[in-house]
A and B are shown apart, each in its own frame.
Chain A
Amino acid sequence: MNLHAVLFYLVSALIIGATAMAVTRRHMVHAVLFLVISFFGSALLFYLLGAPLLAALEVIVYAGAIMVLFLFVVMMMRIEPSDDFQEPIRKRLAAGGVGFLFLMLCALIVSRAGDAARMPMQARMVEPAAFGYFLFDSMWTADEIASLLLLVALVGVLHLGIGRGRRRTAGEEDG
């Protein structure tokens, strides 16, 4: 077991622990902050798995942009921290059943994996320049689709924002 493997297991434990803390917090701000730790761990993991550009993007986009957006919305809504877990026992049973099935499926897939998947992987590092060349050379359709998706999201959010203002004034007139 070398340094790569030790770091991988340490970072994996950090990610799973931080995510488990995040999904069980009652206070949403605490949950978001724990998830920021988890995404920093994911960025470290990407670097270990040989993707430095994706590690930087994970920190910038996930931990930077998305989580800060969550934090803005949580602070804007002023929702009291409450016990918002599902009360009915059916839902908890459903969650437990889904988790059990999923773990069984995971164990099945891992146990059926071939020898190639069991061998330790060769450590490799993809230079950001090489990745960029690959991305804009043979994957340019995916880039165009992603940019189109972001444009559609922009238009949709803009529409939601404008529509909300109109409906709100209508509601105030009704009240």
Chain B
Amino acid sequence: MTVPYTHVVFLSGMLFLLGMLCLIIRRNLIMMLLGLEVMLNAAAIAFVGASLHIGQLTGQAMTLFILAVAATEVAVGLALAVCIYRRTGTVDPACIEGDQCSL
């Protein structure tokens, strides 16, 4: 016997909230991508917990898919961040468009 399913969902929700706050609060493209990773990881935890809860393997297969999506997203996102940094010299999303940078 392990823990109830609601506790797994609650842990996943807290992690998702932390990732979302990181995405909203930070002004740095790389930290925003880190927030996205945290959110994807939270979804993966919820899927594995649901897979144990309903007793089927589909949730674990979905987690494998999430892993592939996370790898793809981080590769393309970091390539874009490096590209933006080379062209504008900053990773602040507020400074990329024009020269009205507040920093």
Contact = CB atoms under 8 A, between A and B. Distances in A.
Contact of A94 (B19, B24, B58): B24
B74 A91 contact: no
Nearest to A23: B22
A91 B11 contact: no
Interface residues on A, range: 35 or more
B82 A134 contact: no
Contact of A22 (B7, B34, B64, B76): B34
Nearest to A164: B83
B5 A117 contact: yes
Interface in A46-97: 46, 48-51, 53-54, 57-58, 61-62, 65-66, 69-70, 73-74, 76-77, 79, 82, 84-87, 91-92, 94-95
B55 to A, nearest CB: 7
Contact of B52 (A50, A109, A113): A50
Contacts of B17: 99, 102-103, 106
Name which of A23, A82, A122 has the most chain B CB atoms within 10 A of its CB.
Answer: A23
A157 to B, nearest CB: 4
A84 B28 contact: yes
Contact of A66 (B10, B74, B86): B74
B2 A120 contact: yes
Given A84-B92, A142-B61, A142-B65, A157 B76 contact: yes
Interface string B49-78: 101110101101111110111111011101
A146 B2 contact: no
Interface string B12-31: 01111111111011111011
Given A99-B17, A102-B13, 5 more contacts: A42-B41, A94-B24, A106-B9, A120-B4, A130-B57
Identify the 6 closest CB pairs spanning chains A and B, nearest first: A23-B22, A146-B68, A153-B72, A106-B13, A95-B24, A4-B2
Interface of B: 1-11, 13-22, 24-28, 30-31, 33-35, 37-38, 41, 44-45, 48-49, 51-53, 55, 57-58, 60-65, 67-72, 74-76, 78-83, 85-87, 91-92, 102-103
